[in-house]
C-alpha cells in the first residue's frame, strides 16, 4: 500500500526519512510543552543515498544521476520488529498522523495548492468578474442582432 494511503487509513508506517513522503509524515506533538512542534510519526529506517538503478531511469522524469534512498536492511528489520512489539504506541501515533493528514492534506487543499502554484490567487478571476464579462458580451451580441 502506498505510504499516503497507509497514513489515511491510520496504519503505522515504516520508511526511510527521506524524499517526498516527509511532507506528510510529521504532525504536531501532543505534549503540552511542544504543542506546535512537528514531530515524525513513523518508524524511521536508516538509508544510504545512491544513484538510481539503470532500469529505473526514465527520460525526462528520473535522470541517471538522480539519488534514491536505499534502506539499510538491519535498520529496516529492527524497525519492523519495533512496530510489531510496540504496536499500540505506533498505532496511537498513526491515528494522530491520520487525523492531521485528513485535516491538512485533503484532495481539495492539495488541488488549491497546485493551482495556486501555477496561477496565484491574486490573478484568478472571480465569479462576479466572469458574470460581468458574459453580461457585457450578451449586451454586445443583442446590440448586433
The ranges assigned to domains in the chain are: 3-105, 106-145
DSSP letter, residue 44:
E
Helices (H), 60-126: 73-85, 87-104, 107-118
User: Does the structure show a pLDDT above 60 at 1?
Assistant: no
Of 67-71, 75-79, 108-112, 137-141, the range with the lowest mean pLDDT is 137-141
Q: Are 40 and 17 in contact (CB under 8 A)?
A: yes
Give the pLDDT of residue 34: 65
Give the pLDDT of residue 135: 75
**Distance (Å, rounded) from C-alpha 6 to C-alpha 49?**
24
User: Is the pTM for the entire model greater than 0.85?
Assistant: no
Amino acid at each position: 500500500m502506498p505510504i499516503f494511503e497507509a497514513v489515511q487509513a491510520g496504519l503505522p508506517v515504516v520508511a526511510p526519512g527521506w524524499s517526498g513522503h516527509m511532507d506528510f509524515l510529521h504532525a504536531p506533538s501532543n505534549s503540552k510543552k511542544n504543542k506546535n512542534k512537528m514531530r515524525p510519526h513513523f518508524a524511521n529506517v536508516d538509508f544510504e543515498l545512491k544513484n538510481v538503478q539503470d532500469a529505473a531511469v526514465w527520460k525526462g522524469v528520473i535522470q541517471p544521476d538522480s539519488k534514491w534512498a536505499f534502506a539499510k536492511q538491519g535498520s529496516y528489520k529492527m524497525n519492523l520488529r519495533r512496530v510489531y512489539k510496540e504496536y499500540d504506541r505506533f498505532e496511537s501515533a498513526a491515528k494522530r498522523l491520520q487525523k492531521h493528514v485528513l485535516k491538512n492534506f485533503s484532495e481539495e487543499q492539495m488541488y488549491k495548492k497546485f493551482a495556486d502554484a501555477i496561477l496565484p490567487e491574486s490573478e484568478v478571476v472571480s465569479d462576479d468578474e466572469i458574470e460581468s464579462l458574459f453580461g457585457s458580451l450578451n449586451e454586445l451580441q443583442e446590440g448586433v442582432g
